[in-house]
Structure 1
């Protein structure tokens, strides 16, 4: 009984249809479109997130400094293909230390601040496999077993058991790669010494660096897999780029700022996180169609990267099994959209090519659904399928 819709032409920006289109509505994972546009604007598609190792205050101490890369892997068996690897960083550290044997790993995850779970998340998010403690240092999106998670990703829709303290877990993994065998006693939290031009193995001197996949690829993964942990890391990158704290609050404020700078109606978005897991998020359908139009009309080429990861109706991602019924088949192959799902909340926003080749953008947000999930999704799909049939051919 609460369905808000916006439809517009991508090439002209003309609004074609609206029903409650300016009404702030719970967006669920459709939020990731706003996060993706904001981080592409703030950081640029080519930006890579560094993970560094620096010399500690005492000989043999190595400080592992998290830069906020959620895809960092331990080795070649990581969850995210092509990710930066701790074993490569460990090799750099051993070379830099020369004859000095590593004695301790200090974990510096101070780049992120505030709570590791957003207060508006449902109670089962921390343990349900779709969220994790958000820290500036983690490996494999905080998954406990990356190899098993990779093997079962499609079966479980990317849900996986997560470790409770991702930064310390990464520190222990790094210590093992450095040859330290003393267990947890050789790993602790701390902060890196000020570099102040230090070289060699002096306190604060850099011992090695690895860099994440480029931002364009991280945004692809975030959208195609609806990866909540990557989304929260991306929101914090927006915050850091804008000089705000790397926190839920900082990320939300910075995203709002960037969208406003792009000329979007920032008054129609109010965020608490970057993933859409929070029920306190609000976005209007018209802001989403404005955002997609801006990304697709060529005025900001860097934002076009938002489209690479969009699932395709009846073919990929979260739309793989949709648009297959007779009533929705018109949308198969021509709808590309991000979906959003929380209990009682269902949303979809993206683009659709009509029968006469016109590219439209649409957003349908519902946040008081009572029917079954399949029934609700089918109802949403019928709307975009009807748009696909528009035209003279």
Structure 2
């Protein structure tokens, strides 16, 4: 039996094993994702998120800026260390064109601000716990944002790309849980694309997209294929032009050119001869009359005012319109009691017993609409326990058939 190792030697051996694992891990990561692949993913994400920022602006009515992304290979432990605050994970499934799943990670406070702005608030003081209403609202926002991003990818890859409705989950990274229940690819190494998200003066934070390596490779493959096709299209006309020039040089043989003496004709003499010949044959150049004069030389032009027959409007009005052919056409008649405007925030607070104030005063005439157009005014009456309308005034418009 050999000599026993000291504690220092054992520690040295363990450190050596850890170093070997780190080296192997680094080599594996470099083989999986090259710098070219990182650039491709970053470019696709940059174009997609640029379109998504425009969509988010229309939802929150605030200036939205999403900066150039940073691409890296990470593990779930890296996310927990760098993103310790409570967050929301939005799962996005690509179902057409590209098949795969990715996660969009937002901080909980940012989600509250975005949903508050969507509901008509100012987003300055979002309070309370994150509710199902917040999760539903942020899912709809991400559905529109990533949907517009998928449209940009469709144009980029020249094929239709579509997503399923996103699903939002609240995550507390300070507590331990099985991350594979959120997404299976979080159990190993995956790709993180980090953005800086700015919404007016309310949000200045980090947003992340997490991709499984297989799905990221599909994106880079599509991007590379599209780029190669564009380069081939650009090179093909140049190559064809070069071949054509070479063929022309091979087939063309220089021929000796005869030397001829050429005398410049007198243009005035040619014109006078042509006009005389035309007059003799009964033909004149355009713009000349039979006397050989241009219109500018003509005189004594008689101009008279145009005479129009008078139009008898009375006889037309007195004609009886024949509408027998459309007498049995059904029309939708609507009686409108009043209208009002409410924000999404106010509508979500509706409950049994809520009173909604309309823009009509008590006793004011009620509008009667036919196919969406007001045709009469009336008052509400009750006949045999049914609400009815008694027409008090007919609104006539020019050319309207009542």
Report TM bin, short chain. Answer: under 0.3
Which structure has the bigger radius of gyration?
A: 2
- Give the TM-score normalised by the residue count of structure 1: 0.20
Q: Higher relative contact order at CA 8 Å, sep ≥6: structure 1 or structure 2?
A: 1
Q: Between Structure 1 and Structure 2, which shows a larger proportion of helix residues? A: 2
- Give the TM-score normalised by the residue count of structure 2: 0.20
